[in-house]
Amino acid sequence: MLSNLLSGDLPRSRRLTAALLAILLALAFGPFLFPGVRAFSMMGMICVFIILVASYDLMLGYTHIVSFAHTMFFGIGAYGVAMAVGTWGNSFGSVLLGMAGALLLTIVLALLLGLLSLRVKAIFFALVTLAVAFAFLSLVTQLYPVTGGEDGMRVRVPRELGPAFRPLEQSLWGFSLPDFCSALVSGSATAWDDALFQVRINGRTLMYYVAFGTALLVFLFLLRVVNSPFGKVLQAIRENEFRAQALGYNTVLYRTSVVILSACLACLAGVLFALINRYVNPENTLAFELMVFILLMCVMGGMGTLYGAVVGASLFLLAQNYLQDLLKLLVTQLPPDSGLANLVGPERWLLWFGLLFVLSVYFFPAGVVGQLRRWSARRQQNNPVVEVVAKPGSQTLSS
């Protein structure tokens, strides 16, 4: 059952399974475990970025297509909804209409890009996508009357997804994990009671669960795709495109469909982003910096594993949101005005952020997921007593 849901592609590492379960539970019960606006918005972003990075991994990790236009499709989705809601009012109809329009534009542009890869290969294709993405960015910035230019657009979401909507009369109880932990550390006798807090279910909570559900479904769908015969052809193209052609696969067709599929999912992530963040501007949807972040999450998590997208997005956004607090905490532990305290000053968080990446790439060259799998495979080789993990193919042969 579980294997079927995961399309036979199990985590294949105990530590990875534990990490994925922790992420799944944290996201599923997030609003009831982590109080505060910042935690709530970060969890929403993790859901959006799981879709965005997983779909990017389909191109980069599984097919070896390097594209820098992923944020363009993300932006098309976000602006599509923002403009539709701005024009036709905040109804679900206009959200759907905006999404449909955005998807249509996405398919057309992705098709053109995909066909372009017929002519230009590898790094040249990457450069063309970069140029297209920059052209789109400056177009959005220049078209002030339509897109709001640098100011961006406020997205007035349907009432049911906004903070004013209260589906439940009374509020529910939540159990704050961070408060509980800090109470335990300080040795408070009332740790359990201190951790309880009230959760008001409103439209934003609903919107969060829409994003969570979509991310979960998209992720399971992508797992199915990469473990299907189609996905195997993609990996064949990654390994040796020349031979894939000689085996009778029209690789241009496969590459084009992957670019389109991946772009459509990025567009969907953009739609969710606009509805969760309720504000879109070129910086938070189209900037090149965002593209680099997606690339980093994909590489840090582990290319060509899909699970890497979940781990990468979660780790990255956690670091981005909480590294400053961690440093603040460190400074209080150090002698004031010493060199070390200056070095870990919270205003230097970007330095440590960068250092974290360098270290993670150095120690996890195959990404977190790739490295965890390698370790567990090595352990199994050293202990032959441990059950042999059979690949899906051999299972069907024996049955």
Partner 1 sequence: MALAQPVLEARNLSVHFGGHKAVHDVNCAFYRGTLTTIVGPNGAGKTTWFNLLSGQLRATSGQVLLRGEDLTPLGAAARTDKGLGRAFQLTNLFPGLTALENVRLAVASRHRTGHVFWQMSSRRSDIAGRAFEVLQTVGLDHRAESLVANLPHGDQRKLEVALLLALEPEVFMFDEPTAGMSVDEVPVILELIAAIKAKQDKVVLLVEHKMDVVRSLSDRIVVLHNGELVADGEPAEVIASPVVQEAYLGTSPSAAEVAL
Give the interface with partner 1 as residue ranges (CB under 8 A): 4, 7-8, 224-225, 227-233, 235-236, 238-240, 242-251, 254, 391-397, 399
Residue type, 53: V
CB burial of 138-155 (b: ≥16 within 10 Å; e: otherwise) equals eebbeeeeebbeeebbeb
Give me the least distance between CB of 27 and partner 1, in Å please: 25
Nearer to partner 1, 133 or 244 (CB): 244
Tokens for 358, please give them: 């360098």
Nearer to partner 1, 147 or 251 (CB): 251
Nearer to partner 1, 229 or 335 (CB): 229
Give me the least distance between CB of 8 and partner 1, in Å please: 5
The span from the CA of 89 to the CA of 334, in Å, is: 54
Tokens for 19, please give them: 């990490």
Nearer to partner 1, 348 or 391 (CB): 391
Give me the least distance between CB of 100 and partner 1, in Å please: 22
Give the rounded distance of the alpha carbon of 304 from its chain centre. Answer: 14
Nearer to partner 1, 62 or 74 (CB): 62
The span from the CA of 286 to the CA of 132, in Å, is: 12
Nearer to partner 1, 33 or 236 (CB): 236
Q: Which of 296, 318, 304, 295 lies closest to 373, judged by CA?
A: 304
Q: Cα torsion at 237, 309, 22, 161 (round to 10°)?
A: -130
The span from the CA of 28 to the CA of 7, in Å, is: 21
In sequence order, what DSSP letters do the residues of 311-367 get, joined into one string?
HHHHHHHHHHHHHHHHHHHHHHHSPTT-HHHHHT-GGGHHHHHHHHHHHHHHH-TTH
Q: Is the dihedral of CA 119, 124, 129, 131 positive or negative?
A: negative
Nearer to partner 1, 42 or 58 (CB): 58
Give me the least distance between CB of 228 and partner 1, in Å please: 5
Give me the least distance between CB of 65 and partner 1, in Å please: 16
Q: Which of 208, 204, 199, 198 lies closest to 165, judged by CA?
A: 204
Give me the least distance between CB of 254 and partner 1, in Å please: 7
Give me the least distance between CB of 248 and partner 1, in Å please: 4
Give me the least distance between CB of 118 and partner 1, in Å please: 11
Distant-in-sequence, close-in-space partners of 115: CB < 8 Å, separation ≥ 6: 252, 256
Nearer to partner 1, 49 or 307 (CB): 307
